[in-house]
């Protein structure tokens, strides 16, 4: 079982790129479009992360892209007066 580093898109699309620790981060994962979003180890995983799909994605691509369904997105605030 892999431990994954997570990189979150800074756009409101909710995309997350999961990369096994021992793999190289894909070249498209660059600031300011992506930011480090933590690590997945053991049983803990964000909503939307599918371990079986992650294993297949890593097998073919070296990484796994998925849509996160987290409610608390960092650096996302409501406009004043909302």
Q: Bigger pLDDT: 76 or 51?
A: 51
- Asked if residue 46 belongs to a domain, the reply is yes
CB atoms within 10 A of CB 45: 16
**What domain range includes position 16?**
4-67
Q: Kindly tell me if the per-residue pLDDT of 72 is higher than 80.
A: no
Instruction: List, for residues 16-71, the tens digit of each pLDDT value.
Output: 999 999 999 999 999 999 999 999 987 788 889 999 999 999 999 999 999 987 65
Q: How far apart are the first and last CA of the chain?
A: 43
Tokens of 20: 């096994």
- Asked if residue 76 belongs to a domain, the reply is no
- Asked if residue 50 belongs to a domain, the reply is yes
State how far the Cα of 24 lies from the Cα of 77, in Å rounded to an integer. 32
Distance of alpha carbon 3 from the chain centroid: 12
State how far the Cα of 44 lies from the Cα of 24, in Å rounded to an integer. 22
- Asked if residue 80 belongs to a domain, the reply is no
CB atoms within 10 A of CB 73: 13
Can you give the CATH number for the domain in which 21 is found? 3.10.510
């Amino acid at each position: 079982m892999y431990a994954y580093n997570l990189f979150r898109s800074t756009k409101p699309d909710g995309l997350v790129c999961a990369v096994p620790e021992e793999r190289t981060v894909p070249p498209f994962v660059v600031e300011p479009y992506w930011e480090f979003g933590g690590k997945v180890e053991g049983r803990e995983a964000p909503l939307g992360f599918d371990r079986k799909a992650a294993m297949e994605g890593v097998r073919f691509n070296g990484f796994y892209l998925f849509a996160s369904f987290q409610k608390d997105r960092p650096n996302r605030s409501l406009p004043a007066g909302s």
